[in-house]
């Protein structure tokens, strides 16, 4: 019997949606309820409903650009996972005002949580531990916080995603201790007796000649010039379009990539500014060498990733996924939504479409990061 429970509601009313989640869960004792909800909901009503209906469970979550759950890949819904208390011990914390955060603040925060995890857990062994972060997707602090968290977590592996707001880029929220928060990051430390594997998958590879960032605004994640010329002009020429044609769909289809230690990591374009500069979802600086990327077969890539996970874990009891909102857009543009949704359903995937993804100390784009759990118990 799989004690990890999943639920999803597409009810348009916030209170009704959370009530439907409650009705889909049984009365088992739980250590954590993890949820992902559309930003179109009345968030105050969502918070009140969770506080009323789940008073004895730690609840964390975030707003999204789409949800993944038992119904597959859908929008304007709320998806949730209930973790059983006898299989998962959990410690949660929330950092506020993260745009003002220092390295000392981050270190102190993580170190305050680690003793709680060890106190609560029957398995004081880092091989049984992992961490998940949910962070304000408009804060611009993902690189700093991911690096700092992973450094202070040591051997405990970290993954996570950036909260979203249905592609409006106005306000994103994380949920902790009964309320939604902006400019904040939630960190959840898990110990479990279940076998698990963290994963990262993408379907783009760099093509063509390198592009050197010759002028940039790192604070605002903006490329001003590539190879000494206006960034948008160079990018448009590389993908064979006029600058007036550039839009989010082309940015999703042709992201930029950077190579680090022989591996390519995606640096997605968020928007073109009126001055012809390009704003990214990830950090950028002068001197960085990029390439325009073209897609490989996403369905094959996803199938291969899950096949590896199944080989390592056996039957998959749950997959948590932080799947980039631009991946979702590209999937829709290429009419692959049904095929991807079928794969996610097959491997019991819950999660959300994010404004960025984190894997270990790295913040990436147009990637799916996550964790898969097997059945039974992991060897001690």
pLDDT attached to residue 320: 98
> How many helices and strands in the chain, by DSSP H and E?
9, 26
pLDDT at 239 over 90: yes
Q: What Cα–Cα distance (Å) separates residue 306 from each residue in 73, 79, 353?
A: 17, 21, 18
pLDDT in tens, 255-309: 999 998 888 999 999 999 999 999 999 999 999 999 999 988 899 999 999 999 9
What is the SS3 assignment for 84?
strand
Kindly report the CA angle at 23 between 321 and 82, in degrees rounded to 5? 35
pLDDT attached to residue 350: 98
For the chain, how many residues are written? Answer: 380
- Per 3-state DSSP, the chain is made up of helix, strand and coil in percentages (nearest 5) of 30, 40, 30
pLDDT in tens, 129-178: 999 999 999 999 999 999 999 999 999 999 999 999 999 999 999 999 99
pLDDT in tens, 29-50: 899 999 999 999 999 999 999 9
Over residues 66-81, the mean pLDDT reads 94
Report whether 191 contacts 89 (CB < 8 A): yes
Q: What is the DSSP letter of 366?
A: S
Residue 150 CA to residue 228 CA, distance in Å, equals: 36
**Beta strands at 184-192 and 129-135: parallel, antiparallel or unpaired:** antiparallel
pLDDT attached to residue 126: 53
Residue 76 CA to residue 222 CA, distance in Å, equals: 31
pLDDT attached to residue 140: 93
pLDDT at 361 over 90: yes
pLDDT at 339 over 70: yes
Long-range contacts of 39-42 (CB under 8 A, 24+ apart): 39/63, 39/64, 39/164, 39/165, 39/166, 39/168, 39/171, 39/172, 39/173, 40/76, 40/166, 41/14, 41/17, 41/78, 42/14
pLDDT in tens, 107-139: 999 999 988 766 555 545 556 899 999 999 999
pLDDT at 380 over 60: no
Chain center to CA of 276:
29
pLDDT attached to residue 304: 94
Q: What percentage of the chain carries pLDDT values higher than 70?
A: 96
Structure tokens, 77: 């819904």
Over residues 216-231, the mean pLDDT reads 96
Place of tokens 């690096």: 147
pLDDT attached to residue 316: 96
Q: What percentage of the chain carries pLDDT values higher than 90?
A: 86
Structure tokens, 54: 């789940």
Kindly report the CA angle at 194 between 192 and 200, in degrees rounded to 5? 95
Over residues 333-344, the mean pLDDT reads 93
Dihedral of the CA atoms 25, 28, 32, 36 (nearest 10)?
A: 0
Q: What Cα–Cα distance (Å) separates residue 335 from each residue in 195, 329, 340?
A: 34, 10, 10
pTM of the model: 0.92
pLDDT attached to residue 278: 97
Structure tokens, 245: 């044609």
For residue 355, the tally of other CB atoms under 10 A from its CB is 30
């Amino acid at each position: 019997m799989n004690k990890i429970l999943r639920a999803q509601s597409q009810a348009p009313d916030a209170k009704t949606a959370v009530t439907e989640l409650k009705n889909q869960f049984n009365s088992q004792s739980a250590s954590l309820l993890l949820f992902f909800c559309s930003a179109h909901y009345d968030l105050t009503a969502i918070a009140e409903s969770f506080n009323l209906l789940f008073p004895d469970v730690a609840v964390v979550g975030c707003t999204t650009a789409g949800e993944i759950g038992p119904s597959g890949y859908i929008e304007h819904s709320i998806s949730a996972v209930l973790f059983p208390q006898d299989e998962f011990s959990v410690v949660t914390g929330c950092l506020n005002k993260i745009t003002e955060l220092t390295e000392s603040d981050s270190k102190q925060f993580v170190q305050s949580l680690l003793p709680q995890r060890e106190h609560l857990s029957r398995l004081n062994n880092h091989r049984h531990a992992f961490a998940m972060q949910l962070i304000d997707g408009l804060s611009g602090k993902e690189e700093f916080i991911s690096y700092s968290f992973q450094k202070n977590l040591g051997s405990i592996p970290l993954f996570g995603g950036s909260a979203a707001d249905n592609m409006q880029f106005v306000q994103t929220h994380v949920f902790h201790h009964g309320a939604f928060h902006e400019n904040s990051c939630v960190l959840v430390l898990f110990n479990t007796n279940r076998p698990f594997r963290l994963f990262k998958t993408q379907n783009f590879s760099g093509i063509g000649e390198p592009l050197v960032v010759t002028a940039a605004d790192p604070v605002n994640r903006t490329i001003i010039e590539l190879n000494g010329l206006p960034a948008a002009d160079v990018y448009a020429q590389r993908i064979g379009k006029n600058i007036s044609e550039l839009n989010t769909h082309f940015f999703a289809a042709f992201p930029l990539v950077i190579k680090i230690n022989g591996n390519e990591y995606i640096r997605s374009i968020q928007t073109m500014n009126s001055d012809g500069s390009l704003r990214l979802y990830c950090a950028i600086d002068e001197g960085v060498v990029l390439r325009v990327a073209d897609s490989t077969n996403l369905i094959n890539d996803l199938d291969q990733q899950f096949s590896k996970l199944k080989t390592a874990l056996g039957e998959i009891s749950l997959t948590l996924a932080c799947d980039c909102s631009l991946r979702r857009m590209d999937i829709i543009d290429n009419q692959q939504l049904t095929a991807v949704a079928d794969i996610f359903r097959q491997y019991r995937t819950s999660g959300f479409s994010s404004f960025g993804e984190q894997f270990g100390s790295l913040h990436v784009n147009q990637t799916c990061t996550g964790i898969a759990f097997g059945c039974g118990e992991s060897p001690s």
